Structure 1
Amino acid sequence: MRKLLFVVLLLTLTSFCNAQQPLVNKTDSTKIAQDSIKKTEFLKHIGNGFLPFNYFNLDLKYLIKFNQYEGVRSGLGGVTNNRFSKRYRIDGYLVYGFKDKEIKYKVGGGFRVNEATDTWINLAYVDDLQETGSSKFLTDKRFFTFFEPRLLNIDLFHKHITKSVSIQHKISNHLLSETQLATSKIDPTYYYNFLINNKTYSTFDLSTVKASLQWSPFSTYTTENDKLKETKDGFPKFTLQYTKAFKSILGSDFNFSKIDFRTVQQFKHKNDAITSITLVAGIAEGNTPITHLYHAYPNNIKKETILQRFSVAGLNSFETMYFNEFFSDRFSTLQLKHTFNRFNVSDRFKPQLVLISRYAVGNMSNISRHQGIQFNTLDKLYSESGFEINKLLFGFGLSFAYRYGGYHLPNFEDNIAFKFTFNISL
């Protein structure tokens, strides 16, 4: 009888333990899954350039940068997250340039008025620098890299104090819009006078309205956990932006208008190679100062020898075009890239070859208005071609480009750009 009771007790304990085991495994599996989701979200934040905290995401792009005017630029910035509020957000930054010894900052925020259309009204006050001749679309998604190659060599900036209010609105899943009203006080950091009707301006005020549209007709979307997620990044994509400056409104000095356009096409081949085509165009009419005209994103420093010019290649810049060499009030650029599949040399060594050709054309009316700065126009076709061998070691690679065509220089070495590349992603 005792033996029988012992066997029953043993079976009962075994059954009880076995019955509890799946629950433990399920709990562990749930915990592992939750940890995996948290890790994925954390890496996604880091990949977008944010270090998440409870109510605030630290913006990593403000931690440290370098350019020719500010030298080392360092500071802190960030934006509140959904834990703080799903309807309101506050963002800003504070940085210091160790070479120019000046503080720059932004204070901003926004509130959402419609969740279904992701409609936000944003306010901002910015006291900072901007590269002369650069253009940016309001609807561009945030783009973050731990290392911005082209920024190292930029030396032509203008100071601006800008107050703005903007409305961002999703017209449809495929069509995004943003409209901005802004007033700016512009002060070039270099010697420059803008001559209009026998009057010169070394500093000036602008009141502008910008309207931007981004159309991605071939992207596809699905709803997951009540959130819209892009499942296919479709091509081509189109972006259009109109800017209008009004004279005498809120003290504005000039009347001018600008239209900017960009389209990106990408072809994926069966061998995992990718061909991409990027066309950018812009036109400015009216009394437009050089601060708001166009360059073609040059990335070559003015040094005598190839090795002295050895620096870092940009992502979409003209590597043989010297900084501040060309400015235009109407221009167009075409960039062709063919990225081969990575060569499987070994498990750790998988370099990648990229073939690149770039072209630019443009012109400018009333060049004599812009005094104190010398530059050329792009009325002849600018051409460069070359290649990159990326990911040779720890994300580093090499780049070679050659300048030819209408702006080929007499000295052979001056047409060559030899640089290293840096590509890393999380």
Structure 2
Amino acid sequence: MHKHCVFIFFILCIYTTQSQTTLKDSTKVSQDSIKKTEFLKQIGNGFFPTNYLNIDLRYLFKYNQYEGVRTGLGGITNKRFSEHYRLNGYLVYGFLDHNFKYSIGGGFRLASKSNTWLNLSYTDDLQETGSSAFLTDKRFFQFFEPRLLNINLFHKHITKAITLEHKLSKHLLTETQFAVSNINPTYSYEYLKNDKILNEFHLSTAKVALQWSPFSKFEVSEDDLIKEIKSGYPKFTLQYTHAFEDVFRSNINFSKLDFRTVYQLNYTKESYTQATVVAGMVSGDTPLTHLYHAYPNNITKETILQRFSVAGINSFETMYFNEFFSDRFSTFQLKHYFQPFNISERYKPQLVLITRYAIGNMGNIDRHQNITFNTLEDGYSESGFEINKLLFGFGLSFAYRYGAYHLPKTEDNVAFKFTFNVSL
């Protein structure tokens, strides 16, 4: 009897041990799966995670017409380093201009529930002339940065900034920045201000940005943080910038207002229509560096094949670089994504129809010396299509320029490029 009891107990012990082992193995597999998913998510966001530092993949390799090959290293500390403090920075080198560029900064969390951070930074780098970015934009990473390949109009800037990030509510994100910048165009340019010619600009600016997502869905996580679990549309972004004259030796005074809204109508998970409206206006003494260029992405070369390059995401593919500048402008873009062609399990190319429109103008053009450009008061139009994911994430793009700014030679109105789309 005792032998039978011992045998039964032994069998139960073996079964329990096997169950625990299976449970541990199952838990380990589950944890490994979670880690792999998180790792791929980090890579998709442009980071290679390590124990205390996430390496920023954006700085490994880039190319543009001014720097040539631009390579370096950057990163930001993660939660394992500290949940209350963070350090970030990068160092890159341009092989064509033979110059180092760098940034160093850090921040500390003031409140966790509202994700409030106070950040400080010092940056010595280049910026594309005529570009405008919102402070509240989430980090955006691409393996290819299409427009960057052909940009040649940059200005150098040394910027010291203090920034406050704060989430007012589940649907409203804010960011405020005060910055002091010294700006030097890398091209021959002068700005005429009150009979004085300026070729260097000292700016003291204050920015306030709001991002409102009234139809997105949020939840409060276990650590009491507010997280977006589903994107809702429309979304609105508004930013106001003011440059103060005679503050920290500033010699420029202007006000700038930027607006963007995005609306998306979903039919299925992969078929939808997306509309984007962007607008901006500047008043005051504003050099070309802080005006608008409407995001062109076409090279000034003779033939269609010579202009063959990478298509952008929200850029005008038939608009030539440095062709238009504005101190007030608006763009409209409409994209319709068809359901992917289900040719096989792994081969599913997708057709996208695209139309874009831009309008703008500029006052006091004669203040901008040593540079020539057009304005958009008659309205700029282009339409076309993309066939994405034809082979290894690569596809093809076609766009045609028509309307008021249609060019005499037909081939000059055509943009034929390749696209690159990959998801991790």
Confirm whether residue 317 of structure 1 aligns to residue 309 of structure 2: no
SS of the residue 1:379 aligns to: coil
Matched with 1:359 is 357
| Pair 1:197-2:173 in alignment | no
| Alpha-carbon distance, 1:18 to partner | 1.8
- 2:114 and 2:226 in contact (8 A); partners too: no
Contact map agreement 2:274 2:336 (CA 8 A) in 1: yes
Contact 2:324 2:374 in 1 (8 A): yes
Q: Secondary structure at the match of 1:173?
A: coil
Q: Distance in 2 between matches of 1:241 and 1:392?
A: 38
After superposition, give the CA deviation of every residue in 1:81-123 in whole Å (9 maximum; x if it has no partner): 1111111111000000000000000010111111111111110
- Which blocks of at least 5 consecutive residues in structure 1 are unaligned? none
Q: Which of 55, 76, 81 is the aligned partner of 1:79?
A: 76
- SS where residue 144 of structure 1 aligns? coil
- The residue that corresponds to 2:174 in the other structure is 177
Asked whether the 8 Å contact 2:124–2:156 carries over to 1, the reply is yes
- Aligned twin of 2:343: 345
Identity %: 66
Task: Render the CA deviation track for 1:23-46: whole Å, top value 9, x for unaligned.
Answer: 111111111121122112111111
8 Å Cα contact 2:381/2:402 also seen in 1: yes
Task: Give the corresponding residue for 1:278.
Answer: 276
Which structure 2 residues correspond to residues 172-251 of structure 1 after superposition, within 5 A? 172-226=169-223, 227-251=225-249
Matched, 1:398 2:396: yes
Question: Which residue does the alignment assign to 2:146?
Answer: 149
Aligned to 1:131: 128
Aligned residue type for 1:85: S
Mapped partners of 1:36, 1:388: distance in 2: 35
Aligned residue among 53, 57, 62 for 2:54: 57
What are the Cα deviations for residues 246-300 of structure 1, in whole angstroms up to 9, with x where unaligned?
Answer: 1111111111000000000000014841100000000000000000000100000
CA distance in 2, matches of 1:148, 1:280: 20
Structure 1 equivalent of residue 369 of structure 2:
371
In the TM superposition, what is the alpha-carbon distance from 1:148 to its structure 2 partner? Answer: 0.8
Structure 1 149/254 Cα, relative in aligned 2: closer, same or farther at 3 Å? same
| Equivalent AA in structure 2 for residue 293 of structure 1 | L
Alpha-carbon distance between aligned partners in 1 of 2:379 and 2:73, rounded to the nearest angstrom? 42
Q: CA RMSD of the aligned region, Å? A: 1.2
- Between 245-254 and 268-277, report the one with greater CA deviation: 268-277
Residue in 1 that maps onto 2:33: 36
* 1:16 CA displacement: 2.6
In 2, distance between residues paired with 1:185 and 1:224?
Answer: 42
Matched residue type, 1:413 = E
Contact 2:395 2:418 in 1 (8 A): yes
Q: Work out whether residues 322 and 373 of structure 2, in 8 Å CA contact, stay in contact via their aligned partners in 1.
A: yes
Report the AA paired with residue 384 of structure 1: E
Q: Which residue of 2 aligns with 1:168?
A: 165
Task: State the Cα distance separating 1:223 from its structure 2 match.
Answer: 2.5
Q: CA deviation at 1:17?
A: 1.5
TM-fit CA distance, 1:9: 5.2
Amino acid at match of 2:253: N
Which of 260, 263, 266 is the aligned partner of 1:265?
Answer: 263
TM-score, normalised on structure 2?
Answer: 0.98
CA separation in 2, counterparts of 1:326 and 1:346? 44
Query: How far, CA to CA, are the matches of 2:2 and 2:89 in structure 1?
Result: 73
Q: Distance in 2 between matches of 1:361 and 1:122?
A: 36
3-state SS in 2 of match to 1:172:
coil
Distance verdict in 2 for CA 1:422–1:292, change over 3 Å = same
- Indicate the residue corresponding to 2:297 in structure 1: 299
Residue 111 of structure 1: aligned partner: 108
User: The residue matched to 1:420 in structure 2 has which SS?
Assistant: strand
**What CA deviation, in whole Å up to 9, does each residue of 1:220-250 have, x standing for no partner?**
1113332433211010000000000111111
SS of equivalent residue, structure 1 residue 354: strand
Does 2:381 align with 1:383?
A: yes
CA–CA distance in structure 2, aligned partners of residues 208 and 12 of structure 1: 77
Counterparts in 2 of 1:403 and 1:230: CA distance versus 1, 3 Å: same
Partner of 1:140: 137
Partner secondary structure for residue 381 of structure 2 = strand
AA aligned opposite 1:254: I
Instruction: State the shift of 1:5 in Å.
Output: 7.1
Give the aligned partner of residue 14 of structure 1: 11
Alignment of 1:93 with 2:86, yes or no, is no
Shift of 1:14: 2.5
The size of the alignment, in residue pairs, is 423
